[in-house]
Chains A and B, each alone.
Chain A
């Protein structure tokens, strides 16, 4: 089955700096890669996703890149703010967006004011 590795497990940055979280996946058939943000005690929220026919996608301060050859994808947050502090999860699916996901173990991002 699919295996998703996520690094780092914790990340601390100063406000205004950039943050990068990386994930690798094992199943070459994976074709959908979402990212979730989970604040303490809340549900995970879908913040951005990318499909295998696209190499990069941006939404304001967040972007995701995908390298299918290397089987890794990354989340980039620019101009970080304290409210970006949360746990971020990457995931992968081999059946598109309407199929079960395999999640990474999460990255605790702390943005220091």
Chain B
């Protein structure tokens, strides 16, 4: 069966520091991959999606970037974090059976 991992689970970072969040999927090949952000008490905002290695589509212009160096690895990065980057970051993969979310990373920028 398919499993999706994210790390770290929680992260506290100062404003202006860099960010790297990692997501990996097991049990499937060539999945579509997604990064979402959820602000406290709010909905799900799609940030990036990828249909293959090196293929990234950005949904919202901002100071974040994404990369897909391997088939089942998806990375979210920032060179300099802003206070507004705080939130719950969710990675997801999709297939014929639907879209499934990872456990998420809770990021607090101070």
CA distance A51 to B39 in the complex (A): 29
**Given A43-B101, A43-B103, A46-B100, A100-B95 contact (CB < 8 Å):** no
Whether A49 pairs with B44 at a CB distance below 8 angstroms is no
Chain B residue with the shortest CB-CB distance to A106: B43
Complex: A67 Cα to B97 Cα, angstroms: 22
A44, B44: Cβ atoms under 8 Å? Answer: yes
Contact present for A97 and B96 (CB under 8 Å): yes
Cβ of B74 under 8 Å from chain A: no
Q: Is B108 an interface residue (CB 8 A)?
A: no
A68 part of interface (Cβ distance < 8 Å):
no
Interface size class of B (residues with CB under 8 A): 20 to 34
Whether the Cβ atoms of A97 and B98 lie closer than 8 Å is: yes
What are the interface flags for B84-110 relative to A under an 8 Å C-beta threshold, 1 for contact and 0 otherwise? 000000100011111111111000000
Q: Is A75 an interface residue (CB 8 A)?
A: no
Binding site for A on B (CB under 8 A): 32, 34, 42-44, 46, 49, 59, 90, 94-104
Given contacts A100-B49, A102-B46, 11 further A-B contacts (CB under 8 A): A43-B103, A44-B44, A44-B90, A49-B98, A97-B96, A98-B94, A98-B95, A99-B32, A100-B34, A103-B43, A103-B44
Interface residues of A (CB under 8 A from B): 34, 43-46, 49, 89, 96-106
